[in-house]
């Protein structure tokens, strides 16, 4: 696994002083899957993404509060991009900026020249719009590029 530099810092908001965004460890597969399950999300990419170091988690102490799974490659032929395959926050911690921090950390990892893409349902469109994603329809789903 390639070294991607230091983990992103803790969330800025003092109410989240206990929450840290970091790269997930391979032994956290069950915990990450639990966060995704709580959001009713499934991905076939979890094991491979963990092995690559492409899963970010929001953690407080040893408890995983959120997770983001990245898939590298040309998801959108118009961009050189990483793709958010899944992003989830535990229901009792939603609306607190954790999902926003996970996406910001994914953007930071890619550098200034890389795009980040995501496919999603209409009910989470406001989340992606608030993060500055350009949104369009693609194959019956919404697709965002940032």
Closest listed residue to residue 121, CA positions, set 35, 40, 47, 45: 40
DSSP H helical segments within 5-132, as ranges? 29-38, 46-52, 98-110, 125-130
pLDDT digits (tens, 9 = 90+) for 23-41: 999 999 999 999 999 999 9
Closest listed residue to residue 50, CA positions, set 91, 86, 80, 9: 86
pLDDT digits (tens, 9 = 90+) for 96-117: 999 999 999 998 887 656 788 9
CA-to-CA distance for 55 and 130, rounded, in angstroms? 22
Residue 79 pLDDT class (50, 70, 90 cuts)? low
At 4 the pLDDT is 38
At 2 the pLDDT is 38
Please state, for a pLDDT cut of 90, what percent of the chain lies above it: 58
Structural domains of the chain ordered from first start: 14-112 (3.40.630.30)
CA 112 → CA 81, 83, 106, 146, distances in Å?
A: 11, 15, 12, 11
**Residue that wins the pLDDT comparison between 13 and 49:** 49
pLDDT at 74 over 90: no
At 115 the pLDDT is 83
At 54 the pLDDT is 95
- Average pLDDT in the 1-26 region? 61
């Amino acid at each position: 696994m390639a070294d991607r530099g230091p983990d992103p810092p803790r969330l800025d908001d003092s109410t989240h002083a206990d929450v840290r965004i970091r790269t997930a460890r391979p032994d956290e597969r069950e915990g990450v899957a639990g966060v995704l399950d709580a959001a009713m999300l499934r991905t076939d990419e979890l094991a491979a993404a963990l092995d690559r170091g492409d899963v970010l988690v929001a953690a407080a102490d040893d408890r995983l509060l959120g997770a983001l799974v990245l898939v590298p490659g040309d998801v959108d032929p118009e961009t050189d991009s990483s793709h958010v395959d899944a992003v989830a926050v535990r229901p009792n911690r939603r609306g607190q900026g954790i999902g926003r921090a996970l996406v910001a950390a994914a953007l930071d990892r890619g550098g200034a020249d890389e795009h980040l893409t995501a496919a999603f349902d209409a009910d989470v469109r406001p989340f992606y719009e608030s993060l500055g994603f350009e949104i369009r329809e693609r194959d019956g789903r919404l697709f965002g590029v940032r």
